[in-house]
Amino acid sequence: MTPPSTTFASVFNLLLLAGFNLTVAAALSVSTAFAETAPAAPADIAAANSPRHAIAMHGQPLLAEGFSQFAYVDPNAPRGGVVNLGILGSFDSLNPFIIKGVAAAGLRDFLFESLLTRGLDEPFTLYGHIAETIIVPDDRSAITFNINPKAKFSDGKPITADDILFSWKTLRDHGRPNHRAYYKKVTKATRASDLSVRFELEPGDRELPLILGLMPVIPSHVLTEETFQLTTLAPPIGSGPYVISTVDAGRGLVYKRNPDWWANDLPTSRGRFNFDEIRYDYFRDDAAMLESFKSGKIDLRIEEDPSRWAGGYGEHDRNSRKLVRREFELGLPAGMNAMAFNTRRSAFADPKVREAIIKLFDFEWINKNLYHGLYQRTQSYFERSVLSSVGNPADDREKALLSPFPDAVLADAMAGTYRMPVSDGSGRNRANWRAALDLFGEAGYDLTDRKLINRKTGQQLAFELLAGTTINERLFLSFARDLAKLGIAARVRVVDSAQYQQRIKSYDYDMIQTRWPSSLSPGNEQIFRWSSSMADRDGTFNFAGVKNPAADAMIEAMLAARQQAEFVSAVRALDRVLLSGHYVLPLFHLPKQWVGSWTNLRQPEKTSLFGYQLDTWWAASSEPEKKPNP
């Protein structure tokens, strides 16, 4: 058997512990050398059936049992103070687990906890929290959660096996579509004791034990299956570090730190959740929210607009505080920021039409003229990582996986040479226009009297670009002008956030701009995004309406992969299928994470692979006063 110290995850973790600031691609490039392992020995089987403090998707956890805190926190961070945050939009519910209503921000971060807590210095590793220990057999056909006897809800009631079973059953039957899809894979749930629950699982999905570890725990003594399904503005009972002290419906809410939080002294909590209060103010308009930030009423802002970042926000000084800009390296794939074609609509049913429209997007001109040249073009669903198929020819594993679907992947995607169209940045995208016209011709369209007309219907190609904020409007208008040059009638429509959320839940749009974040360990969330089974269910993230048997099969292979090399091959194969289907128009990504904040906030020296994390920051006002040396 390959010793644990030579698995990919162990090598990656040891390098991190040694202080190396690895990029994702560099870290994962060592994976293929450690991909194969021999059958487990009896001692290893016994160890796999013993209680453990953590579980990693692949390899071993970074932190051994008895660790003191995560490496990206300051264990001596002082507690106290207030942080003020701005949110665009509105809310009408404090129930984040159903698709009805628009839930307020922060509920899953600060009020409802999961059985296990994610370590953010690793691709996908979970550590004991509400569940103090777990038992998982080597084949991951089951998982047992042993509840920490100290765990309790904010009203003082202990968390028991009944709460875990109630949470699982209620979310399975009445929760959001992703919860329903995941939790129905449990074949049997057993109450082993007051503080222990065992779940037996469908075979073939090695991520499922971790997905169950991330299950939020809700109180069975407060909710019923009926009341769970209701939107409410009554502050809910959770087990997290905060309670809700103030609710101003649709306009704001305040989280107040619970001094009696049961997990205050756990290693998974040390150095985190330092603010006494976290205040969210809602804004209908991004410009108003920006002005509130610049005036000092909001303390922190994640910035995604290169124009604002390049402008530096100007010079601002309020009550001895200064507004500063911080850039954070990210160790995660960039994800897919894109305009999604709703393939449920007839205008986008033909992939040749979608491919042609992709050719009409002039990234080089838009990046230079709208975004100060600060964006990088996104080429892959797993951009900026070894999981990307771009630049990597399909290996033998991928070819075997894709062999039942000979028409699912383009030749250049199989070769790893597929790229987004490139222009000279002049604004005259003539070569790509000609290529697009050829594709439109193959799809049954002719350019007649400066209109792109369908030969069968006699109708002009027309569709709507739907936006929920004015942030996207400038990009959409620029793109619509380019589409008009080839006779396409693209309308830009901006609606309020509540209407936008409702329309995307029911797929009532032609084209939207959206983003699918990515991790180093993509898994069950890919079902929610690309599976045929999710295409017609309201409230999923399959915004493009993908119904592709090849994508379904690649997701299945990814979830079943036991070794890192098998996993990478399956993810790359999925990437090739999605790129070949032209389901989205890939846009761009930022090279780093941009955060604007005021100097009344402090942060740890080390940043996690996931970038900035609010729960690790603290207020300068809560630091001990420094006295001058005598």
- Residue 259, pLDDT > 50, answer yes
Give the Å distances, CA to CA, from 354 to 127, 376, 414, 475. Answer: 43, 22, 20, 18
What pLDDT, on the 0 to 100 scale, is given for residue 37?
33
Buried b (16+ CB within 10 A) or exposed e, 5-39: eebbbbbbbeebeeeeeeebeebbeebbebbebee
- Residue 26, pLDDT > 80, answer no
Token output for 386: 């070894």
pLDDT confidence bin for 265, thresholds 50/70/90: very high
Token output for 540: 């999923």
pLDDT confidence bin for 307, thresholds 50/70/90: confident
Residue 610 makes CB contacts below 8 A (sequence gap 6+) with 120, 330, 331, 332
What pLDDT, on the 0 to 100 scale, is given for residue 47?
55
What pLDDT, on the 0 to 100 scale, is given for residue 414?
98
Q: What is the pTM of this model?
A: 0.75
Backbone angles phi, psi at 377, to 5 degrees: -75, 135
Q: What is the pLDDT of residues 370-398, one digit of tens each?
A: 999 999 999 999 998 999 999 999 999 99
State what percent of residues in the chain have pLDDT above 70.
Answer: 91
Q: How far apart are CA 470 and CA 472, in angstroms?
A: 5
- Residue 45, pLDDT > 80, answer no
Q: How far apart are CA 548 and CA 342, in angstroms?
A: 14
State the chain's mean pLDDT as an integer.
90
What pLDDT, on the 0 to 100 scale, is given for residue 388?
96
**Among the ranges given (3-7, 407-411, 449-453), the one the predictor scored with the smallest mean pLDDT:** 3-7
User: Do the domains 336-431+507-589 and 49-289 match in fold?
Assistant: no
Q: How far apart are CA 215 and CA 192, in angstroms?
A: 18
What pLDDT, on the 0 to 100 scale, is given for residue 41?
47
Answer yes or no: are the C-beta atoms of 184 and 131 closer than 8 Å: no
What pLDDT, on the 0 to 100 scale, is given for residue 625?
59
Strand pairing category for 277-283 and 252-257 = antiparallel
Question: 49-289 domain in CATH 3.30.365.10?
Answer: no
- Taking residues 50-70, report their average pLDDT: 94
The radius of gyration of the chain from alpha carbons, rounded to an integer in Å, stands at: 25
Instruction: Give me the DSSP letters along 242-273.
Output: EEEEEEETTTEEEEEE-TT-TTTTSTTTTT--
Token output for 140: 């991951």
Task: Report how far Cα 558 is from the mean position of its chain's Cα atoms.
Answer: 18
- Residue 333, pLDDT > 80, answer yes
What is the length of the chain? 630
- Taking residues 7-33, report their average pLDDT: 33
Answer yes or no: are the C-beta atoms of 327 and 593 closer than 8 Å: yes
Q: Is 569 exposed, middle or buried (0-12, 13-18, 19+ CB in 10 A)?
A: buried
Element of type H or E holding 579? helix 564-581
- Residue 462, pLDDT > 50, answer yes
Q: What is the pLDDT of residues 64-102, one digit of tens each?
A: 999 999 999 999 999 999 999 999 999 999 999 999 999
What pLDDT, on the 0 to 100 scale, is given for residue 285?
87
pLDDT confidence bin for 626, thresholds 50/70/90: low
Residue predicted with more confidence, 591 or 196: 196
Residue predicted with more confidence, 88 or 42: 88
Q: What is the pLDDT of residues 173-227, one digit of tens each?
A: 999 988 998 999 999 999 999 999 999 999 888 899 999 999 999 999 999 999 9
What pLDDT, on the 0 to 100 scale, is given for residue 472?
82
- Taking residues 447-469, report their average pLDDT: 95
> What are the domain boundaries of the chain?
1-47, 49-289, 336-431+507-589
**Any idea which residue has 């100007």 for tokens?**
314
What pLDDT, on the 0 to 100 scale, is given for residue 123?
87
What pLDDT, on the 0 to 100 scale, is given for residue 621?
85
What pLDDT, on the 0 to 100 scale, is given for residue 591?
87
- Taking residues 92-120, report their average pLDDT: 96
Q: How far apart are CA 133 and CA 100, in angstroms?
A: 34
- Residue 28, pLDDT > 80, answer no
CATH superfamily of 336-431+507-589: Dipeptide-binding Protein; Domain 3 (3.10.105.10)
Token output for 317: 């000084």
What pLDDT, on the 0 to 100 scale, is given for residue 40?
45
- Taking residues 266-276, report their average pLDDT: 97
What pLDDT, on the 0 to 100 scale, is given for residue 342?
98
Q: How far apart are CA 473 and CA 463, in angstroms?
A: 15
- Taking residues 603-616, report their average pLDDT: 93
Q: What is the pLDDT of residues 552-573, one digit of tens each?
A: 999 999 998 888 899 999 999 9
Q: What is the pLDDT of residues 133-165, one digit of tens each?
A: 999 999 999 999 999 999 999 999 999 999 999
Q: Is 542 exposed, middle or buried (0-12, 13-18, 19+ CB in 10 A)?
A: buried
Element of type H or E holding 108? helix 107-110
Give the Å distances, CA to CA, from 278 to 40, 298, 536, 630. Answer: 48, 11, 37, 38
